[in-house]
Amino acid sequence: MTSEIINPRGAAGTERADAAGTAEAAASLLDPVFALHRGGKMEVASTVPVRDAADLSLAYTPGVASVCAAIAEQPELVHDYTWTSQVVAVVTDGSAVLGLGDIGPGASMPVMEGKAILFKEFGGVDAVPLALDTQDVDEIVETVARLAPSFGGINLEDIAAPRCFEIERRLQERVDIPVFHDDQHGTAVVTLAALRNAARLSGRGLAELRVVISGAGAAGAAIARILLGAGIGDVALCDRKGVLSADRAELTGVKAELAAATNKAGVTGSLADALAGADVFVGVSGGSVPEEAVATMAPGAFVFAMANPTPEIHPEVAARYAAVVATGRSDYPNQINNVLAFPGIFAGALRVRAARITEGMKLAAAEALAAVVADELSPSKVIPSPFDTRVAPAVAAAVAEAARAEGVARR
């Protein structure tokens, strides 16, 4: 059976389904998600006209040769005469895609395309998705490092922990453009911004708060680090075995480092043990937290249950005990959404041709993001909407200024 389909760009396509797959194919044709994704969500568009021979001679040969020769003589000119310093590579190995897990490079491409269009729509930043057919750290680092001269920044996406930590570190050592693992740092920036405003709303400072993070993977580790950098009172991370603490001899690598830097209160035991008297819960792990454990948190607590689509604590349950509730979902107030961070962060870094994204730049991004709604605070508004047009410009300006202050800007 053959059925003709019109894709979103208006080009006709042909889909063939055998008898066994006819019902599934027909269902997919009626699904608006499949209709939107058919043919992909991106295209390359020229910024210059090619209408006649004169245009062609300027855009390509022979005119292009003089620009190439100038860049060969002065390599820095590549940033003025190509798109290199204005475009980001969105790189994945397909190992930790959304809530789907290790689905591989091909299946990850709709997400990477989506990330690229978010860069463009929310930050005005061009981005190219690159799904790599390897999960070997050495191969990923070598591949991306060799591609780096074509880009102004590298956004690592949906790469599983702990591999993602080493890839980011080693890549940043190899290249002189920003390398940013959004699952870590984007989440951390938005979480800190929301927590700053929740604290302001309640008349408290960050130094007064004890935070419990459920999940010690990429996002949990980055959130812990940025909170420590922002002056949080105390933070305890919990993995599947309980609180990261000095008495857990099996901890190695990143978890051992975090155990040494966190949990000043010396809490041991389970997540439920850590929650007793805690001011803040941050969930980036999935699973479910019993209501009786939530009930033991301090009065006026904040619950940021960010697992998607099912928060670790249902918002209606959290609201019985917490003064501020945030989730990762768009159908509840206070959505902790990375799109509030990464477009502006990269826009600011690219604007000044930053060599890297520093901790100071992340803290500046969080403060700028929080400030967008500082005069509009309420329990249901401690973070801007992803569609607030003030967000990306404010974050970009703060990041660019911080890059200059820290000496990593090159223009």
Q: Which residues are catalytic?
A: 60, 115
pLDDT at 19: 39
Q: Which residues pair with 212 in a beta bridge?
A: 236, 281
pLDDT at 195: 98
Q: Which residues pair with 360 in a beta bridge?
A: none
pLDDT at 247: 86
- Which token pair is 75? 């390599």
pLDDT band, residue 82 (cuts 50/70/90): very high
Average pLDDT over residues 312-331: 97
The pLDDT tens digits of the residues spanning 116-128 come to 999 999 999 999 9
pLDDT at 240: 93
Q: Over 90: is that where the pLDDT of 28 sits?
A: no
What is the distance in angstroms between the CA of the first residue and the CA of the last residue of the chain?
59
Q: Over 90: is that where the pLDDT of 267 sits?
A: yes
Average pLDDT over residues 131-142: 98
Mean pLDDT over all residues of the chain? 92
Q: Over 80: is that where the pLDDT of 3 sits?
A: no
Average pLDDT over residues 16-36: 62
- Residues in the annotated binding site for (S)-malate: 308, 337
The pLDDT tens digits of the residues spanning 337-386 come to 999 999 999 999 999 999 999 999 999 999 999 999 999 999 999 999 99
362 contacts 189 by C-beta, under 8 angstroms: yes
Q: Over 50: is that where the pLDDT of 324 sits?
A: yes
- Which token pair is 232? 């949080």
Q: Over 60: is that where the pLDDT of 10 sits?
A: no
Residues of the chain with pLDDT > 90, as a percent, come to 87
Q: Over 80: is that where the pLDDT of 7 sits?
A: no
Q: Which residue has the tokens 């080009």?
A: 11
Q: Where are the beta strands (DSSP E) in 132-274?
A: 153-156, 179-181, 210-214, 234-239, 242-243
Query: Residue 164: which residues within 8 A CB-CB, separation 6 or more?
Result: 96, 156, 181, 183, 184, 218
Q: Does domain 182-411 have CATH number 3.40.50.720?
A: yes
Where helices occur in 267-385 by DSSP H, the ranges are 271-275, 291-294, 315-318, 342-351, 359-371
pLDDT band, residue 246 (cuts 50/70/90): confident
Average pLDDT over residues 104-117: 97
CA–CA separation, 94 and 134 (whole Å): 9
Q: Over 80: is that where the pLDDT of 213 sits?
A: yes
pLDDT band, residue 31 (cuts 50/70/90): confident
Helix, strand, or coil here: 373?
coil
Phi, psi (degrees; rounded to nearest 5) at 145? -60, -40
Q: In the chain, where are the structural domains located?
A: 1-40, 75-177, 182-411
pLDDT at 21: 52
CA–CA separation, 225 and 345 (whole Å): 18
Higher per-residue confidence, 19 vs 406: 406
83 contacts 307 by C-beta, under 8 angstroms: no
CATH architecture of 75-177: 3-Layer(aba) Sandwich (3.40)
pLDDT at 17: 37
pTM: 0.90
pLDDT band, residue 4 (cuts 50/70/90): very low
Q: Over 90: is that where the pLDDT of 16 sits?
A: no
Q: Over 60: is that where the pLDDT of 22 sits?
A: no
pLDDT band, residue 243 (cuts 50/70/90): very high
Max CA distance (Å), the chain: 75
- Residues in the annotated binding site for a divalent metal cation: 157-158, 183
Residues of the chain with pLDDT > 70, as a percent, come to 93
What's the one-letter identity of residue 107? A
Spell out the SS3 assignment of 204-241. Answer: CCHHHCEEEEECCCHHHHHHHHHHHHCCCCEEEEEECC
Q: Over 90: is that where the pLDDT of 20 sits?
A: no
CA–CA separation, 238 and 212 (whole Å): 7
Q: Which residues pair with 180 in a beta bridge?
A: 155
pLDDT at 27: 58
pLDDT at 192: 98
Q: Does the bond joining 309 to the residue before it have cis omega, within 30 degrees of 0?
A: yes
